[in-house]
Amino acid sequence: MNRIPSLFRIAPLAAILVLNLLLNPFSASGQNPQKDIIRINTTASSLVLGVDNQGQLKQLYFGKRMDDSLPEGAVQQAAAAFPAYGTNVSDAALRITHADGNLTTRLVYERNSVSKIDANVTQWTIFLKDAYYPLQVRLCYKTYNDQNIIEQWMELEHKEKTPVMLYNFASASFAFQSPGAAAPGAHLNYFYGDWAKEFNAVETALTEGTKVLDSKLGVRTDQMTNPSFLLALNGKMDEEHGEVFAGALAWPGNWQFRFEMDYQKRLQVTAGMNPFASQYQLTPGTVFKTPAFLFTFSADGSGEVTRRFHRWARKYGIKDGYASRDILLNNWEATYFDFDEAKLSTIIKDAASMGFELFLLDDGWFGNKYPRNNDNAGLGDWAVNTKKLPHGIPYLIEQCRQHNLKFGLWVEPEMVNPKSELYEKHPEWALTAPHRDIDVQRNQLILDLANPAVQDYVYGVLEKVVADNKGISYLKWDCNRYLTNPGSAYLPKDQQSHIFIEYSRGLMKVLDRFRKKFPDVTMMVCSGGGGRMDYGTMPYFQEYWPSDNTDALDRIKIQWGANHFYPALGLASHVSVTPNHMTGRTTPLKFRFDVAMSGKLGMDLQPGMMTPEEKAFSKKAIQTYKEIRNVVLHGDLYRIQSPYTHARAAIAYVSEKQDSALVFNYLQRKSIYGDNTTIKLKGLKKDARYKLTEINKGTFTRLEAYEGKTFTGEYLMTTGVQFTMYNEFESAVVLLTSL
């Protein structure tokens, strides 16, 4: 007998459940069983929704592309597509207290519309209304057909006589049925950490109860947990096999993912803004719009999830996704706050001699009454420090121009030191609760971006910095603390719980305004490291800083975790000093370059601190990166061997045309008998012939048997390449070029 796709899961995991539906056809009301069936398709996936005979919107199917008709009873037995509180006891995607005090909401289907935006993008809008109150919910779905990504968000408005209170306001909700007692269960994969320890990958089996991933940091998304996950539906996650549901929230503030499994192993996933301490008073006629939840379903493992998100990001999710990226030199680890014109001029000259393309001046360039000589003072006073830089920023820009370098500058416009002229003038602009001691982190407070006047100020700071210093081509935007002790002098007392939402909205208004005025300025987002790696922030930025930890060994795992959702195109990866200032670890220069070149290469190690041999190696490596960076920045990523399960970690990038590839190998710890792992490549053309060349060669090579020789793609993917590595921090990067 042919299997029928399951209610909520792709066959065969729950196909047998559909047979039960055949016993529960539509009631004899004359309703057409295929009426109001909404198919939201991409090339490889389908989300099918339907309306039951009570008018409720149900999720009928989500999985691999499926165009067949569904059994007649499917709608009645299916789970709600967007459950509102009051009809059952499962997690509520929407929970409202109405103007008259009613705690319940009953959503019924009105209609749907479809809009073809272009050849690749289509938007569905499903209109729901409360069965009694004048309240409408619009569920919006945007499909990116070729990338197999779906974007979902919710819009709500009402015409009740007085405000309603929103308590839960998810962007999306999904239901998955049990695969059966004998089958392996769902495994959740996510990324947690802390400052300098971001993006640790963890996998856990989901059992009965509720698992919550969230952030309450207020003004930045993550660092402790990234707003993304992969849910392997039939056992542990695998790169190439198995069904995987994966998603990421496009929002720069508090967020929450809930995974609720009941006794019958039915799983509900709810994703959106974090409702914690954020009940929202919505006035009549005002539209409340949630951030987009981006998701995909892969029948071919987690590797396919990654490549879909990366392809989507390059086209839609990151600014200038098809452009190249400059190789920059940052002064921070060489000087910290202790610099002047002479020091910087020397660094600029050295940077040019090494082949860098951009010089970035980090923290410490501003403040006069309260000079920025440490992190105790000056934030908020964005006038150049005339003692350090008597000729101002234009002098440094001219120095860079003379050496064919671009110039970049560090800013942290959302923050203020209590020891600053800005705070003396506007203490009410800082977010802090009344009748409480001020709570500083890194000696700073957060400006209240819920306040339009503060938004204007922050935008004005950025506009003035760029406009007054013609030639600035790059800004590093930092955010070095999270929100505690929340309180806004601008918001009324009955709207203090709006702080988290309105701050993020205010931030995005500033970013949107800046981008419209200065579309060509490259920007890196940084937040004490990887605190703002999310798809709500990234459309405004070309680059993102995943961690303040630049130790090459630690960066292997940090970047391994980050690359599950965020492409190398913007993932800033820098070569830094050794022993590393953070870990104290000493690693070879080649190892540091090989790790950094798997992302967007940059450098904090200053040429003036190098030996002649190190300079020569670095100069050659920088030139090599210029030749191969397009493969890294715009290629498809294949994770070959995990740093969590093997001494040797390996990843590969394959160009879109499959005519070139790069394989990065890193030995994390010493192997007495040698690590002779066979590396089987992926993503190549079977019948193409590829020439192998090691790049960034050190004092020895392990690839003598392969150097300069050619092999078919099929051989490289089935037989693979085998060479032995022995020493910790040993690395090898292999370039494959089709003939």
Candidates 144, 138, 142, 172; CA nearest to 156 is 138
Instruction: Assess contact for 96 and 113: CB atoms under 8 A.
Output: no
> How far, CA to CA in Å, does 417 sit from each of 337, 412, 428, 558?
16, 11, 13, 31
Q: Is 208 exposed, middle or buried (0-12, 13-18, 19+ CB in 10 A)?
A: exposed
Q: SS3 for 716?
A: helix
477 is in an annotated binding site: yes
The rounded Cα 166 to chain-centroid distance in angstroms is 27
In 597-694, which ranges are continuous DSSP H helix? 612-634
- Give the integer Cα–Cα distance in Å for 27 and 225: 46
- What are the catalytic residues? 478, 548
Instruction: Assess contact for 217 and 276: CB atoms under 8 A.
Output: no
Candidates 273, 265, 711, 730; CA nearest to 501 is 273
478 is in an annotated binding site: yes
Strand pairing category for 228-232 and 636-641: unpaired
- Give the integer Cα–Cα distance in Å for 262 and 239: 28
In sequence order, the 6+-apart residues with CB closer than 8 A to the CB of 712 are 686, 687, 688, 689, 690
- Give the integer Cα–Cα distance in Å for 571 and 595: 12
400 is in an annotated binding site: no
Which of 142-146's residues contact partners 24+ apart within 8 Å by CB, and which partners?
Answer: 142/117, 142/292, 143/40, 143/41, 143/42, 144/42, 144/120, 144/312, 144/315, 144/316, 145/41, 145/42, 145/43, 145/120, 145/121, 146/43, 146/120, 146/311
- Give the integer Cα–Cα distance in Å for 298 and 371: 53
Torsion angles phi and psi, residue 560, rounded to 5:
-60, -45
Candidates 513, 571, 560; CA nearest to 538 is 571
Instruction: Assess contact for 290 and 171: CB atoms under 8 A.
Output: yes
Candidates 502, 501, 572, 573; CA nearest to 541 is 572
Beta strands in 497-597 (DSSP E): 522-525, 543-544, 572-575
442 is in an annotated binding site: yes
Torsion angles phi and psi, residue 229, rounded to 5:
-160, 160
* Residue 460, number of CB atoms within 10 A of its CB: 13
- Give the integer Cα–Cα distance in Å for 416 and 409: 18
Dihedral of CA atoms 101, 106, 110, 111 in degrees, nearest 10, equals: 120
675 is in an annotated binding site: no
- Give the integer Cα–Cα distance in Å for 153 and 163: 22
Instruction: Assess contact for 706 and 723: CB atoms under 8 A.
Output: yes
- Give the integer Cα–Cα distance in Å for 69 and 51: 15
Residue whose token pair is 């009105």: 110
238 is in an annotated binding site: no
**Number of helices (H), then strands (E), in the chain:** 13, 38
Candidates 67, 40, 46, 192; CA nearest to 121 is 40
The first and second tokens of residue 166, run together, are 């929103």
The first and second tokens of residue 71, run together, are 């059994």
Q: Which residues are annotated as a binding site for substrate?
A: 195, 362-363, 442, 476-480, 526, 548
Q: Which residues are annotated as a binding site?
A: 195, 362-363, 442, 476-480, 526, 548
